[in-house]
Amino acid sequence: MKLLKSLAVAASSMLLAASATAKDYRMLSSWDQNYAYNPYIVDPFVQGLDKATNGRIKITVSGPETVPPFEQLEPVGSGVFQFLFTHGAYHVGSTPIMMVAEAIDADPEKLHASGLFDYLDKQYQRFGVKLVAAPVTPKGAYHYLLRAPIGPDGGMKGRKIRGTVTYKGVTDMLGGVLVVLAPSEIYTSLEKGLVDGAVWPAVGAYEYRWYEVAKYLVRPAIGVNYEPIFMNLDAWNALPAGDQKIVMSVARQIEDAWYKQSPAVWKKEEDALLAKGMQITKLGPAQQAKLDQTWKEGLWAAGAEKNAADTNKLRDFARSKGLAQ
């Protein structure tokens, strides 16, 4: 009996030691493997860490078929998965902070120098995750796709538009009716006329073949985009200091590169969609004049509706750094 107990203790110790040194991690992504931003954010992150650590950090990516996009923050915070690639609107029920951050004009340099990155990181640590990358774009990150062109009203009066709460302010201003649907439902909903349009990042419609069911690209495009990568906080704290530095270094390289690359990537996608027969349709002058401010105020309002205290604190912080009005 004593021998069996000794063997059990030894085996348990070996398992603990193995788990303490294991570097095989699991990442949840809110989008499938065809998502157009993957080659610019997820792929270089996964491959960069593998290379920079000589294989000590390996990440396997699972998409929304494993956990639905709107339910992914909790399993990463609890440690079932160690990384998360997502958008703030997908976990707005837990916190609106990352969604609302898109009301703040900041390039990667300002993001870090102002302390905004650290501020966002601290907010998310309450949910058991650490912000490790916050890839942000210049303005023009989102666009509407419609089944029919903009009409005489200059907007989208009465049209049902698939989106998330991120787009509510602008959609309301344009006269549209926001319909929240999972990304996997967009093609069929457009095809059947259940929605009259969709709003999405400026890259992705081509891979999903939405040009088959929506024939118009609305211009101008709107807003800045953050698609962050989080890491389970306990997993982060378990990393050696040297590996923590590597993670943040690889992440910062991706942030810098994506900010520079994104406009050209958007243009390439637009050209591809036009080649498939889509056409440009423009908002009216009155709507265009209101776009930027409506985008920002819509995000602040949506955030305040979910958590006024946290949203107001973020706005005060951004104002103190000259990043918001």
Asked if the model's pLDDT at residue 4 lies above 80, the reply is no
Asked if the model's pLDDT at residue 81 lies above 90, the reply is yes
Asked if the model's pLDDT at residue 3 lies above 50, the reply is no
Q: pLDDT tens-digit profile of 13-62? A: 333 333 335 479 999 999 999 888 999 999 999 999 999 999 999 999 99
Question: What own/partner pairs with CB < 8 Å and gap ≥ 24 does 305-313 have?
Answer: 306/92, 306/93, 306/95, 306/96, 307/95, 307/96, 307/97, 310/95, 310/96, 310/97, 310/123, 311/96, 311/97, 311/100
Looking at the chain, which residues constitute the CATH 3.40.190.170 domain(s)? 22-138+225-263
Asked if the model's pLDDT at residue 80 lies above 90, the reply is yes
Mean pLDDT, the chain, rounded, equals 92
**Residue 21: per-residue pLDDT:** 52
Cα torsion 51, 201, 87, 235 to 10°: value is 0
Confidence of residue 12 (pLDDT cuts 50, 70, 90): very low
**Residue 268: per-residue pLDDT:** 96
Asked if the model's pLDDT at residue 241 lies above 60, the reply is yes
**Residue 17: per-residue pLDDT:** 36
Q: pLDDT tens-digit profile of 120-151? A: 999 999 999 999 999 999 999 999 999 999 99
Span 104-122, average pLDDT = 96
Question: What own/partner pairs with CB < 8 Å and gap ≥ 24 does 266-271 have?
Answer: 266/140, 266/141, 266/202, 266/203, 266/221, 269/36, 269/202, 269/203, 269/204, 269/205, 269/206, 270/202, 270/217
CB-count burial class (<10 Å; 0-12, 13-18, 19+) for 65: exposed
**Residue 325: per-residue pLDDT:** 83
Query: Could you give the CA distance from residue 46 to residue 63 in angstroms, rounded to a whole number?
Result: 14
**Residue 9: per-residue pLDDT:** 36
Span 256-277, average pLDDT = 97
Note the pTM of the prediction, 2 decimals.
Answer: 0.86
Q: pLDDT tens-digit profile of 145-165? A: 999 999 999 999 999 999 988
**Residue 36: per-residue pLDDT:** 86
**Residue 10: per-residue pLDDT:** 36
**Domain 142-223+275-299 belongs in CATH node 3.90.1710.10:** no
Looking at the chain, which residues constitute the CATH 3.40.190.10 domain(s)? 142-223+275-299
Residues with Cβ < 8 Å from 190, sequence gap 6 or more?
145, 147, 162, 197, 198, 210, 213, 214
Report whether 206 contacts 214 (CB < 8 A): no
Asked if the model's pLDDT at residue 251 lies above 90, the reply is yes
Confidence of residue 105 (pLDDT cuts 50, 70, 90): confident
Q: Quick one: what percent of the chain has pLDDT higher than 70?
A: 93
What Rg, from alpha-carbon coordinates, does the chain have?
A: 21
**Phi, then psi, of 165 in degrees rounded to 5:** -60, -20
Output the CATH code of domain 22-138+225-263: 3.40.190.170
User: Could you give the angle at the alpha carbon of 300 between the alpha carbons of 296 and 303, nearest 5°?
Assistant: 135
Please tell me the total number of residues recorded for the chain in this structure: 325
